[in-house]
Amino acid sequence: MDVREIRTYIHLMKAKVLIITADTEFRESVMRELYLAHLEGLTVRSGVEAIRVLKTEDISFVICDNDLIGMDAMQFLCVANILLRSRPPVVVCSSRHRYSPEEFRHNGASEVFSKPFYAQHLRAFLRRMEELRGHGSASPRELSPLALAIDL
């Protein structure tokens, strides 16, 4: 781990992460990576629950599986854009090709990774957040809502 990664981890050490998924295996893999990065994770199973949590909790960023109860990740992004004045960065994980990376980007996605969610995805996401915060030139769109789409 280089100095920049250490700085990023220290900066986000007290970050609270919201995980939105109905998939137990996915939730456990993400929670394991968050634990190793010393980040706290909350989990919900639906986009509706997630909106409630985002309105009441101080969430640093969201990791959203595409398969949710009642809606998919694209629908969650659209609803969050409408209902929330500002929302934290969102990582969207999709195992289907229902939406293209461009469609995710159109709804706020700035990067595309491949699923499953691994430690290198978390590190890359944290580095990207640190870079955006470090450059005063980042636009509000890049800072929040920043979203990453993770697709197969």
Query: Which of 58, 59, 10, 18 has the alpha carbon at shortest distance from 41?
Result: 18
Percent pLDDT > 90 in the chain is 7
Which tens digits make up the pLDDT trace of 3-34? 565 555 555 556 788 999 888 888 888 888 88
Which tens digits make up the pLDDT trace of 31-89? 888 887 777 889 999 989 999 999 998 888 888 887 788 888 888 888 888 887 777 77
Q: In whole numbers, what is the pLDDT of the chain averaged over residues?
A: 74
Domains of the chain: 3-134+142-151 (3.40.50.2300)
Q: Is the dihedral of CA 129, 76, 111, 32 positive or negative?
A: positive
Q: Check pLDDT > 60 for residue 150.
A: no
Which tens digits make up the pLDDT trace of 91-102? 777 766 678 878
